[in-house]
Structure 1
Amino acid sequence: MAQQPIFLMVAGLSPQVVTETLYAFHRESSTSLVGAELHLITTLEGAQRAELTLLTGANARLPKLIADYGLPDIRFSTTHLHIIPDSQGRPLEDIRTPDDNAAAANFITQRVRDFTSRPDTALHVSLAGGRKTMGFYIGYALSLYGREQDTLSHVLVSERFESHPEFFYPTPESQVIYTRDGKPLDTRRAEVTLARIPFVRLRDELPQEALVQQLSFSDAVALLNAATQPAQLRVSVSTPRLICNGISVTLEPMEWMLYLWFVHRCQQRAEPLTPPVEGHPDRALANEMLGVIRHFDLEDRLSPRSLAALEDGLDLGPLRTRRSTLHRKLKLGLGRRLAEPFMIANVRHQRHSGWALTLCPEQITLTHHPLDGPLDSSPTPHVSQGGAT
């Protein structure tokens, strides 16, 4: 089944970018316009201009473009004009202040995330319109959330026609417009070409929760930046939470205690743990884990059933399942790349192989205090992962 094309653009006071972009895509012909939907992110005045020049009246340019080149119907109405709100939720007249800039960044990022959440679509983002910061944010947002089928482009307009208030696209028949100094221009002779822009796709590096939560632009960038920093882990013996490079992940009690056990082994510089043989519960390993639980006075956090199961020994099946669930939650909360150094990995130490944390003891802070806040003064995204113990 063909993916529905969604065109997303930013615009300020020049709605011409809409018709120029659609014309360029039509001329390129590698992207179908059948079933296309158009969305424009803009300011209050930009929306008014877009409505008046593209949609309403006998001279509305979008219907003329469709008729001139026999394009399929393109869904675009006033409901597809997305006006950027300020920090108080009021429509922005223009982007003038740092607060306006931040509001635009967050709004654009949310729209791109929303459109890329629809699996049956292909999103085509244009950088052609709006202020430079708007173009930067929509391009960066696509880099954060873009999928394989999504594209980024810009339109190149021949110099004399570029930014001309009466030029919307090259017309199939001659039509004369005039420059500011009175020189005539024939819109039929204008050249508009599409420039495809390659971009880095970072979607797979984001935590799964970031694809559904309404994160701000800065928080989404912070999540990715965290993966580039040296691994630092904070673990509390009083709350079932891990803070990995400033990002909090909540675990279930048994997952947390399993992790505490491996943290303790790491700090003791123990050799990798040899997993038990499946179907043969290992009481020595169970006693070692129970010893850590008792060392931290955590027996009351476990149900009698869980304690009884431990006393019978550790079997490979349940232990492997718990480890896999723990890894899944780390990936969901941290993203694939950031989660990797915090996993209980398969390692080889000299001639001995087994399971261990690959962190150095110096990278781990073990505290008896609750982990209620971030590592520093910056906001800490908190990802809660539910699941049965």
Structure 2
Amino acid sequence: MKTILLAVCGLSPQVITETLFALHQQGPQIDAIRVLTTRAGKDACLAGLFRAGDGHYYRYLDEYGLPRDAIDFAPRHLLAVLADDGTEIDDIADEYHSERFLRLCMEETFALARDDEQCVLFSIAGGRKTMGACLSLAAQCYARPQDRIYHVLVQPSEFENCRDFYYPPRTPRTIEVLNRERRPCHMSTAEAQITLVPMPFFPLRRQLTPRMLRRPESPAALMLSLVREDKPQLLIDLPQKKIVWKGVECDLTPSLLALYAVLALHKQEAACAKSPCLNCGDCALSVDQILAKQADITRLYQRLTTREAVKSGATALDEEHVGQYRSKINRLIAGTFGDHEARALRVGSRGARPVRYAIGVARELIRVVL
């Protein structure tokens, strides 16, 4: 299996060779390296790692007996974050820069993690803290079981802050460092210790659907896709003479509620294959079909009122009554739930000649209490 090191780096390219050294001490062969950085970080890596074929990256390979082509790593693999206009961003200095860097991390992580025949090792040790946080977040979104996140610790701190220290050489040598008082002193590289720290993380990839893995997404988009709220329910409560949606109640008169309930019951029983309702019309009724349900409407109306039923209104509907009742229902729903929610709850019209009427909300979300 191919192993790729994906690292973030700022103005200290030493972190790349330090990480490489630590990984090699533990045994894994690194087949490729990709570095996510800024324009300034890219320049620092070019100067420190690749300078004229004699940079510290090449020195490390030579010193530890690795062929220069043993690892797929070259200046073109230093990926600087880009602004909207395509120019390289100099530093991660504000929220916009952080958003762009997070996008770069998501894109590169997504691309590398698509190949099941390779393992990705994420190094979050370099650059500003926000850079490591961005790569860690991308790894949590797209990493597989074989992938790992690492941090690198360099001790004593004199070596961590030394611009001339890139890795412990095979033959120790004395170099100038700054002590804790920021004064120059000399220390042997034999004292340097590089520790590779595996970082636990909670992989989300198994929770993502195939649609979510078609292309890289923002963490916010993935989180919204993973958060599955309980579906709302349209409760038509005849004993209480009201309808309830998302905790908001709307009172309807017996005649309006009887018509609305009959439309809801018909929708529940309809042989409609589409959900949510997309204007297929199978659950809709024409005026003539509504009038044909007069017995059902009358029965419900009589359960809702104590008044003696008379041959008018809900007990004797005609085309004009249906239009009036529909308009009243829709006005009350819009006034109670707002225009946006009313789109699903109102009695909408479908087609033409004859026009058919139906409640928009999906039938599986409807509950009628008789």
Q: Please tell me the TM-score bracket, short chain as reference.
A: 0.5 to 0.7
300 and 105 in structure 1: CA distance in 2 versus 1, 3 angstrom threshold: same
- Does structure 2 conserve the Cα–Cα contact (< 8 Å) formed by 1:54 and 1:60? yes
Residue 221 of structure 1 and its aligned partner are, at CA, apart by: 3.2
Structure 2 partner of 1:215: 217
What is the identity, as a one-letter code, of the residue corresponding to 1:298?
C
Moved over 3 A (4+): 229-234, 264-268, 290-293, 295-301, 365-370
Residues 99-178 of structure 1: matches in 2 within 5 Å? 99-158=96-155, 159-178=157-176
Superimposed CA distance per residue, residues 88-140 of structure 1 (whole angstroms, 9 cap, x where no aligned partner): 32210001121111111111111111110122110000111011111111111
User: Higher relative contact order at CA 8 Å, sep ≥6: structure 1 or structure 2?
Assistant: 1
189 and 267 in structure 1: CA distance in 2 versus 1, 3 angstrom threshold: farther
Distance 1:209 1:150 in 2: 22
Residue 59 of structure 1 and its aligned partner are, at CA, apart by: 3.8
Structure 2 partner of 1:242: none
Distance 1:47 1:194 in 2: 24
Aligned residue among 180, 190, 193 for 1:191: 193
Aligned residue among 36, 44, 66 for 1:41: 36
**What TM-score do the two structures reach when normalised by structure 2?**
0.62
Q: Which runs of 5+ in 2 are unaligned?
A: 235-263, 284-343, 350-370
Residue 174 of structure 1 and its aligned partner are, at CA, apart by: 2.1
What is the identity, as a one-letter code, of the residue corresponding to 2:198?
R
Structure 2 partner of 1:16: 14
Residue 222 of structure 1 and its aligned partner are, at CA, apart by: 3.0
Residue 366 of structure 1 and its aligned partner are, at CA, apart by: 5.3
Structure 1 partner of 2:255: none
Structure 1 partner of 2:26: 28
Residue 367 of structure 1 and its aligned partner are, at CA, apart by: 6.2
Tell whether 2:45 aligns with 1:53.
no
Larger Rg: 2
Superimposed CA distance per residue, residues 155-198 of structure 1 (whole angstroms, 9 cap, x where no aligned partner): 11102211311111111112222123220022232110111112
Question: In percent, how many aligned pairs have the same letter?
Answer: 27
Superimposed CA distance per residue, residues 301-354 of structure 1 (whole angstroms, 9 cap, x where no aligned partner): 9xxxxxxxxxxxxxxxxxxxxxxxxxxxxxxxxxxxxxxxxxxxxxxxxxxxxx
Residue 266 of structure 1 and its aligned partner are, at CA, apart by: 12
114 and 179 in structure 1: CA distance in 2 versus 1, 3 angstrom threshold: same
Structure 1 partner of 2:90: 93
Q: Which runs of 5+ in 1 are unaligned?
A: 235-263, 269-286, 302-364, 371-389
- Does structure 2 conserve the Cα–Cα contact (< 8 Å) formed by 1:157 and 1:193? yes
214 and 266 in structure 1: CA distance in 2 versus 1, 3 angstrom threshold: farther
- Does structure 1 conserve the Cα–Cα contact (< 8 Å) formed by 2:141 and 2:219? no
What is the identity, as a one-letter code, of the residue corresponding to 1:12?
G
- Does structure 2 conserve the Cα–Cα contact (< 8 Å) formed by 1:153 and 1:195? yes
Structure 1 partner of 2:207: 205
Structure 1 partner of 2:184: 182
Superimposed CA distance per residue, residues 238-260 of structure 1 (whole angstroms, 9 cap, x where no aligned partner): xxxxxxxxxxxxxxxxxxxxxxx
90 and 187 in structure 1: CA distance in 2 versus 1, 3 angstrom threshold: same
Distance 1:126 1:188 in 2: 24
110 and 58 in structure 1: CA distance in 2 versus 1, 3 angstrom threshold: closer
Distance 2:195 2:20 in 1: 10
Aligned residue among 51, 57, 60 for 1:62: 57
- Of residues 107-116 and 59-68 in structure 1, the stretch that sits farther from structure 2 once superposed is 59-68
Residue 233 of structure 1 and its aligned partner are, at CA, apart by: 8.2
204 and 177 in structure 1: CA distance in 2 versus 1, 3 angstrom threshold: same
Q: How many residues align?
A: 254
What is the identity, as a one-letter code, of the residue corresponding to 1:178?
E
Distance 1:187 1:148 in 2: 36
Distance 1:137 1:123 in 2: 16
Aligned residue among 79, 83, 90 for 2:80: 83
What is the identity, as a one-letter code, of the residue corresponding to 1:168?
Y
- Does structure 2 conserve the Cα–Cα contact (< 8 Å) formed by 1:44 and 1:91? yes
- Does structure 1 conserve the Cα–Cα contact (< 8 Å) formed by 2:270 and 2:282? no
Residues 315-334 of structure 1: matches in 2 within 5 Å? none
- Does structure 2 conserve the Cα–Cα contact (< 8 Å) formed by 1:172 and 1:188? no
231 and 175 in structure 1: CA distance in 2 versus 1, 3 angstrom threshold: farther
114 and 290 in structure 1: CA distance in 2 versus 1, 3 angstrom threshold: closer
What is the identity, as a one-letter code, of the residue corresponding to 1:38?
I
Structure 1 partner of 2:66: 71
296 and 210 in structure 1: CA distance in 2 versus 1, 3 angstrom threshold: closer
Distance 1:144 1:42 in 2: 20
- Give the RMSD, CA atoms, in angstroms: 3.3
69 and 233 in structure 1: CA distance in 2 versus 1, 3 angstrom threshold: farther
**What TM-score do the two structures reach when normalised by structure 1?**
0.59
